[in-house]
Amino acid sequence: MDTTRIVWTGPGAVELQAGTVAAPGPGEVLIENELTLISPGTEREWLRDDTSHAVLGVTFPFTPGYSSVGRIIEIGAGVDGWTLGDRVVPLGAPHGAHAAHQVVPAATLFKVPDGVSAARAVLYQLGGTAVHTIRLGHVQAGDSVGIIGQGPIGQIALQAVRALHRGSSTLVLDLEPGRLETARNLGADTALDPRAQTDLEEALAALGGGVRVVVDLSGAEAGINAAVGLAAPLGRVVLSTGTAADLPLAYGQVFTKGLTLVGAFVGARPMEFGVDTSTFLMLLAEGDISVDHLIAEPFNPQEAPEVYQRVLDGDRELVAPMFVWSTR
pLDDT digits (tens, 9 = 90+) for 115-157: 999 999 999 999 999 999 999 999 998 999 999 999 999 999 9
Q: How many CA atoms lie within 13 A of 77 on its CB side?
A: 2
Q: Is 140 exposed, middle or buried (0-12, 13-18, 19+ CB in 10 A)?
A: exposed
**Nearest Cα to 62, choosing from 20, 100, 9, 3?**
9
pTM, rounded to two decimals: 0.94
For residue 249, give Cα distances in angstroms to 46, 83, 227.
24, 50, 11
| Domains along the sequence of the chain with CATH | 2-123+295-324 (3.90.180.10), 128-268 (3.40.50.720)
- pLDDT of 49-66, one tens digit each? 888 777 677 889 999 999
Rounded-to-integer distance, Cα 222 and Cα 234, Å? 21
pLDDT digit string (tens) for 63-116?
999 999 999 999 999 999 999 999 999 998 889 999 999 999 999 999 999 999
Nearest to 28 by CA among 73, 58, 64: 73
Q: What's the pLDDT at 55?
A: 66
Q: Tell me the pairing of strands 169-173 and 190-192.
A: parallel
Contact residues for 133 (Cβ-Cβ < 8 A; gap 6+): 153, 157, 215, 217, 238, 240, 264
Contacts 24+ apart (CB under 8 A), 160-165: 160/130, 160/131, 160/134, 160/280, 160/283, 160/289, 161/134, 162/187, 162/288, 163/283, 163/288, 163/289, 164/131, 164/134, 164/139, 164/279, 164/283, 165/134, 165/139, 165/140, 165/141
Mean pLDDT across 215-232: 94
pLDDT band, very low/low/confident/very high, at 244 (cuts 50, 70, 90): low
- Percentage of residues in the chain having pLDDT higher than 70: 98
Average pLDDT of span 36-42: 92
Cβ atoms 119, 290 nearer than 8 A: no
Give φ, ψ of 270 to 5 degrees.
-60, -40
Q: Write out pLDDT tens, residues 268-308.
A: 999 999 999 999 999 999 999 999 999 999 999 999 999 99
What is the tens place of the pLDDT at every residue in 199-216?
Answer: 999 999 999 999 999 999
